[in-house]
């Protein structure tokens, strides 16, 4: 299967620790998105890459969050000094073209629990 892959699927950490999530998009997709989803809510946009360039960031992405996509392939999302409010499902999606003409393909998500 060559869908969007996210790791780890579940991370439990203590408040104040740093965590990193990895996303491997579908190989030919040039666009990559990170979303956050909390229980009972829809996904909320965090950031967007076209190839290796980070072109848009939501105001939800505080300075404790950083995302990278070196070489335009996989991406990492790091959260520093985690807080309990960071507990959520972090979703990655990729697409080949513009979302209006193409389609976003989502991974199954990485669930973060901050104790």
Residue ranges in contact with another protein by CB under 8 A: 3-4, 33, 40-45, 48, 55-56, 58, 91, 93, 99-101, 103-109
Task: Give min distance, CB of 48 to another protein, in A.
Answer: 5
Cβ distance to another protein smaller for residue 13 or 104: 104
Cβ distance to another protein smaller for residue 10 or 15: 10
Task: Give min distance, CB of 98 to another protein, in A.
Answer: 8
Please, are residues 76 and 21 in contact by the beta-carbon 8 Å criterion? yes
Cβ distance to another protein smaller for residue 19 or 93: 93
Q: Is 87 exposed, middle or buried (0-12, 13-18, 19+ CB in 10 A)?
A: middle
Q: Is 20 exposed, middle or buried (0-12, 13-18, 19+ CB in 10 A)?
A: middle
Cβ distance to another protein smaller for residue 82 or 94: 94
To 5 degrees, how large is the angle CA 71–CA 73–CA 74? Answer: 115
Tokens of 90: 């972090």
Task: Give min distance, CB of 40 to another protein, in A.
Answer: 7
Task: Give min distance, CB of 43 to another protein, in A.
Answer: 5
To 5 degrees, how large is the angle CA 25–CA 56–CA 70? Answer: 45
């Amino acid at each position: 299967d060559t869908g969007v892959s996210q790791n780890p699927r579940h991370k439990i950490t203590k408040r104040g620790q740093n965590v990193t999530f990895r996303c491997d998009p579908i190989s030919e997709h040039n666009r990559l998105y990170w979303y956050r989803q909390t229980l009972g809510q829809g996904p909320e946009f965090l950031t967007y890459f076209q190839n290796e360039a980070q072109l848009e960031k939501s105001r939800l992405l505080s300075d404790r969050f950083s995302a990278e996509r070196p070489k335009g392939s996989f991406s990492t999302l790091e959260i520093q000094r985690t807080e309990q409010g960071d507990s959520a499902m972090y979703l990655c999606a990729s697409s080949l073209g513009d979302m209006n003409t193409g389609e976003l393909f989502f991974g199954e998500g990485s669930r973060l629990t901050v104790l």
